[in-house]
Amino acid sequence: MLIDTHCHLLDPVFDADRAAVVARARAAGVAHAVVMAENEAENHRVLAAARLDGFVLPAAGHYPACLDLEMAARTEAFIREHRAELAAVGEVGVDHRITEDPADHAVQDAILRRLAAVAAELDLPLSVHSRAAGRHAIEVLRSTAAARVVMHAFDGRYGAAVSGLDAGYYFSVPPSIVRSRQKQKLVKQLPLDRLLLESDAPVLGPDPAARNEPANLRVAAEAIAGLKRRSLDEVLGAIVENTRRVFSR
């Protein structure tokens, strides 16, 4: 059974039919979804959802658009308090498209270092956002003790990913690979034993005009199999084992 390693199942676009979305995911062989939080309110909501539905594996995070060091400190406290229930720390990271101001980048870096350090200390996986800043994000992460790192929907070139591979990091692949030349090129070069699957639902689906769902993980797996000229069973088997290594408690 597959695990969606990064999604936003509590997004309001799922409010009308969330149970049906989960049912479709399970029917497609997706056993769980690591549901990301981006702020304090979502941290609490994700944890509450996980207590009600075993499909949800909760993550607590702080989105890089929020340049609030005090809020990041409260997120750290939340992670420490609820470590036993959390599956991961995320979504955290840096984003050089949100802001081009070097001072803002420095704040993003400081928050990422802080939350990477607590993830390492508590032995939790870390799901990292690095839009338009992949190489830089990996440099920041390598300055910390973070080990179980997942580069979510990495948008850089293979050359930027190499340092992450050297550090033992993993790269999660969304269904949008079927329409992304960048992700196709990247996945061809990344080793199979470092790949995971994510939906990033409700976005990054195979059709940019349609709402994405965790059930679309198989679309990403089939694309990986085709790009690497491996059987689908071989790819799925490798990804299940990779996911176990990263997310096992």
Which tens digits make up the pLDDT trace of 76-134?
999 999 999 999 999 999 999 999 999 999 999 999 999 999 999 999 999 999 999 99
What percent of the chain clears pLDDT 70, i.e. is strictly above it? 100
pLDDT digit string, tens, across residues 62-90: 999 999 999 999 999 999 999 999 999 99
Render pLDDT for 140-196 as a digit per residue (tens, 0 to 9): 999 999 999 999 999 999 999 999 999 999 999 999 999 999 999 999 999 999 999
SS (H, E, C) 80-118: HHCHHHCCEEEEEECCCCCCCCHHHHHHHHHHHHHHHHH
pTM value is: 0.96
Residue 204 binned pLDDT confidence (cut-offs 50, 70, 90) = very high
Domains, the chain, in order of start with CATH, read 2-247 (3.20.20.140)
The pLDDT assigned to 181 comes to 98
Closest CA to 64 of 56, 53, 72: 72
